[in-house]
């Protein structure tokens, strides 16, 4: 049976291809951000940042491989000082 999470509780490529997304919430100077990693339906993986205070997307990048996307995702988590990891939300 395919695995949905890694030992560190992050989603596997299989889970991302099934429609699950990595979602993290963080706060920086009292401005909440949501950071997402998801499979974009065939061409690669998207990493995006949404800022609730302004009601806008701050970043949206597409990567060809999961390795590149995960590196960008973790770099973005550090940049926006994320606090909480939510490993599995369905997009549908």
Written as one string, the DSSP assignment of 28-45 is ETTEEEEEEEEE-SSS-E
CA geometry: angle at 30 spanning 51 and 33, to 5°?
A: 25
Structure tokens at 57: 């997307």
d(CA 83, CA 26): 5
Length of the chain: 92
Q: Hey, is 73 helix, strand or coil?
A: helix
Per-residue pLDDT for the chain (92 aa), expressed as one digit of tens each? 778 888 888 888 888 888 888 877 665 555 577 788 888 887 899 999 888 778 888 889 999 998 999 899 888 888 877 655 655 555 54
Give the predicted TM-score (pTM) of the model.
0.76
């Amino acid at each position: 049976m395919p695995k949905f999470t890694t030992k560190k509780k992050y989603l596997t490529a299989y889970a991302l291809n099934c429609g699950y997304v990595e979602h993290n919430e963080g706060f920086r100077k009292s401005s909440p951000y949501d950071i997402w990693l998801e499979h974009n339906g065939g061409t690669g993986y998207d990493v995006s940042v949404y800022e609730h205070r302004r009601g806008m997307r701050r970043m949206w990048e597409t990567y060809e491989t999961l390795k590149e996307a995960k590196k960008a995702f973790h770099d973005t988590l550090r940049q926006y000082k994320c606090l909480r990891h939510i490993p599995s939300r369905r997009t549908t």
